[in-house]
A and B are shown apart, each in its own frame.
Chain A
Amino acid sequence: MMNKMSQFIETKVAPVATKLSSQKYLKALQSTFLFLIPFFTIGSFALVLISPPVDYTTMEPGFLQSIMAGWQSFADFTSPVLDYVFNVTMPLMSLYVALGISYNLCKEYKINSMMPLLVTMSSFIISASMNAERTLSFAAFDATGLFTAIFVGIISFELYRVLVEKKVGRINLEGSGVPPALADSIGNLVPVAIVVVLTAFLNNLLFTFTSINLPQVITIIMNPLVSAVDNIWGVIILAVLVMVFWWFGIHDSVITSALDPFFYSNLGANAAAFAAGTAAMALPHVVTAPFWWNFMAIGGSGATLGLAFLALTSKSKQLRTIGKLSFIPSLFNINEPLIFGLPLMYNPIMMIPFIIVMPLNGVITYLAMSSGLVAKTFAYASWNMFSPIAALIDTMDIKAVILVIALIIIDILIYLPFFKAFEKQKLAEEEE
């Protein structure tokens, strides 16, 4: 039965995973967000530092009040610098994503030229700016333009690439003694012109007939999907799907890389609302990158931090060895040693907790945040930050830390009976 199942996975599911993972646009998107993580982290820290969680003038005099007053003067002093640091991170994310897609597709096609990056960037700027005055505008460079950046990024890159490949309007300078770099830039003057003019023309056409621009149109189209992800049922279905993949030992990126645009555009929208003065409890979105990676995947996918602790203190020598090996990485949300070493993969005893614990964390966190009990996330401490600390940075709410600690305890309690059964089996093996 087990053999049949694993055979089914290797012959039927794995090829699908391969297809998705090697899908060039998905791959480019995944690499782009990998590059952007430091920007999200730096911007998050800047935003947190310039935003004291409590207004000290409304507080009772005392120790906490003096801390908050000190924080406020620190914020006043550093905000001339940190405002810029924040403003070039999340509020420009779509511009970076357009560039990143172009850059990563260049690598995919082995194109060694700066021109596609310039073409994609200008196409995105036109599409995101388009307004009644026909001026440049930064408004949709933030999270609101993210799907536009992906869409325009791919289309303009591909159009340019095909035009160059088909030598459309190629100005042949070879043999005339000009340096190769110049031949690449001037030689491709016509394709550049075609893409940029066409982009401006089409965006103008759209705006003239609908009086809204492409980011607004795409927002309307994407809205049902965004709501489907930012929803308790969406969280459950996606988390179960991810964990089923992991139970078969297949990395979640097959699913989560397609979720990245949703996670980050929701995070960006929250950060923008928070920077504009919205209270952290009242932010628009619950499901964001930090929601998933810092509140649900505590210890790694499957929320295995509690399990690593159980393994560390196990009576079985074999399980203890894995516990020792995996506990420290687990603090930083790396759990491959547990998944492959304990193992969790293909382990029928551990299947139930491994698949249900992370969705459960999602449900509890979703309810806590949507009911206003715990602040929503507006910053992102990065996926490999120890979860309780990450929760504090993500929300600046001490109740979020308590939530994460409670989740770790709940996770341990759910894993415990299954782990004990598995441990018994291992101990019996070791007796022999």
Chain B
Amino acid sequence: MPASDRGAVALRRGENQAQVAGLLLEGVPGGRGQGDGHREVVGHGGGQAHRGGQGTPADDGTGSQHRADESASTVFVWQQIALAAVLAAGTLICAVLWFSTTMLVLVAAINVAVALAVGAKALISTVGTAWETVEQVTDAEVAALVDTELPVYTILVPVYKEAGIVGLLMRNLADLDYPREKLEILLLLEEDDPETLAAALAAAPPDFVRIVVVPHSMPKTKPRACNVGLAFAHGEYVVIYDAEDRPDADQLKKSLIAFRKGGDDLVCVQAALNYFNAKENLLTRMFTLEYSSWFDYTLAGLDKLRLPIPLGGTSNHFRTDMLRDLGGWDPYNVTEDADLGIRASAQGHRVAVVNSTTYEEANMAVGNWIRQRSRWIKGYMQTVLVHTRHPWRLLGAVGPRQAAGFALLIGGTPLMFLASPWLYAMFVVQLIWPGLLTGTLPSWLVTVSMGNLLLGNGVIIYLSLLAGFKRRSYALVPFALFSPIYWLLHSIAAYKGAWQLVTKPFYWEKTNHGLSSHVQPEPVEVRGAVPAEDSATTWSAGRRHAAAERQDGVRPSAIAGGLSRLGLSSEEQA
């Protein structure tokens, strides 16, 4: 197969590691070793920015096709800029001429935004709670599957600068209950990350793991790497996992059954996400409560109400052909998953949830958390801007109920975070200088604002209480009372995200993983390839260890230091 100077390179086990590392360091992927039978090259010039004309399918540099007006590559269209300018100028002029009335309208608008967003979340989550013991897929259905009749499943794992947890990733994926001959794992590495490549090669994965080196280009985002992976995928179904993910062992099989039961319009099945390091500190506890509420109640409610589901960043399973028809992920959108969920709905497809959980590492540092959350909120803003470019078209495509659900959830969420501090400011002013606000605003509006703030916080606290209770994480439940503080952190992240939307719209705030004491980075031991039978032993041992680790909560590093050592320690234990 011919190699391209800027093409993605897929490596199989046995590839000359030193040669590849050398190529990466030289910045000339695929420049040598052509036609050696181990390397595939797909895709096109990765350095080309995605700037196609409106309505014209444009190449994003990875083989995926996007309509430019469905991509966040253009942040604002002129109509949106004009509307924002008119609103800003109008507000300014009105404030000069009729200050009290303008303030009344602004405060009322903030109240309406917060009340609608909180109300929608409460309503959707309440519907979700009603199905708390319903299993979309039962164990009996999983047991009835015949391995020989299963389709090929592709797992995409984008990894960047995460050399320390590659070995752990291999172990976690080895825990999956799926026939190895039907499994294809694509490890998506970036060209400028030779350390992770070295670690991946040192882990000596078996043949069904392929390492794909994504050529350097901008924007350097996870969705761009996933699009490259999608071009390589041979599976009938494809799923994305992050480097630190620990999916339930039967997740692939459950998703497969969910697809079979879900009908032809079902494009994606989303598994629940939760955290394995919930009790590490206050932030991880709050994050876990939030995720429990979001994935167990809110997404379940969206599913039952047949509203558009913004996908989570990982553990979303797709029908590969339908995903390709949708154009893959938008590499310019920093929450490409949420965007894809909405785009799928707009094209008449459906997203469902499945009763399986992937355990991730909760962010345990405030700075790291704000970086991650500002990216998510910025991505929601991008998604709203993209899908409201043609509001009438959206309304016609998805209908008024779904459009309202999209506006309230995707649009309402950042709006609520941006608006909340102003309500808090009013609260503080009212506490310290009673009567000051009523000099400008009618007293009924001040009362409504205070009530709105209290009620909104009450709803958020209560949903977290219920979510913790439902997961039987009783020890976490009292921490739900800290939700107002946690939500103020969201507001900080929202303002950062809004600022970045203007200044650095495509900048991907990298989340640092491996900070938890549950995920101690393992020393990378670069060595040559190992025989196939050795790696097979390693993988089965890894599976047993991952199961034991989850059951017992033992730190991975306490079990074994690296993938290569697992095989030995396992045999010794046996």
* Co-complex (A, B): no
